[in-house]
Copies of this chain bind each other. A is one copy, B any other.
Amino acid sequence: MGLKVYLSGEIHTDWREQIIEGAKGLDVSFSAPVTNHEASDDCGVTILGAEDNKYWHDHKGAMVNAIRTRKGIADADVVVVRFGDKYKQWNAAFDAGYASALGKSLIILQPPEHDHALKEVDAAALAMTRTPQEVVEILRYVLDGSLPG
């Protein structure tokens, strides 16, 4: 058994790298959104032409990014959604809802101060984690049954 894992959410810290590094040697293939913030914001207009209106500027980019996001989630067995300290992060919560409706196994990675605000998201998840290391330990346990320590 191998696992396909989609890493959704916060793009300003290295949590994805920590998970990927920690999972080395496990039969896991990871996918993720484009995490270059500027490229992600501007991909639509850069490829398809500028827009005067900021709303359509954003819209074109968000739709292009959706090609990758939907593919990543659709293919995944497990979707990890990370909520960070800053920003609205509604795309992260959207991905969690989308993945949940498709029956994917959800793991949420969140700081304690967001626990109350994330209760509906957590209610759809199979694990609420605090650190990338905990995510790695879950993946390892799921794959080979071994526990830390």
**Chain A residues close to B by CB (< 8 Å):** 1, 3, 31, 34-36, 39, 42-44, 46-48, 51-56, 58-72, 75, 77-78, 83, 87-103, 105, 107, 114-124, 126-129, 134, 137-138, 141-143, 145-149
Contact = CB atoms under 8 A, between A and B. Distances in A.
Nearest to A34: B145
A77 B115 CA distance: 28
Nearest to A116: B58
- The residue in A95, A105, A123, A149 that gathers the most chain B C-beta atoms within 10 A of its C-beta is A123
A42 B102 contact: no
Given A59-B123, A64-B138, A66-B123, 17 more contacts: A1-B75, A44-B127, A46-B147, A58-B115, A61-B119, A62-B120, A63-B123, A64-B127, A66-B126, A68-B142, A71-B77, A88-B118, A91-B93, A91-B119, A94-B121, A97-B100, A98-B98
Q: Which of A42, A67, A127, A145 lies at the interface centre, i.e. has the most chain B CB atoms within 10 A of its CB? A: A67
A141 B34 CA distance: 8
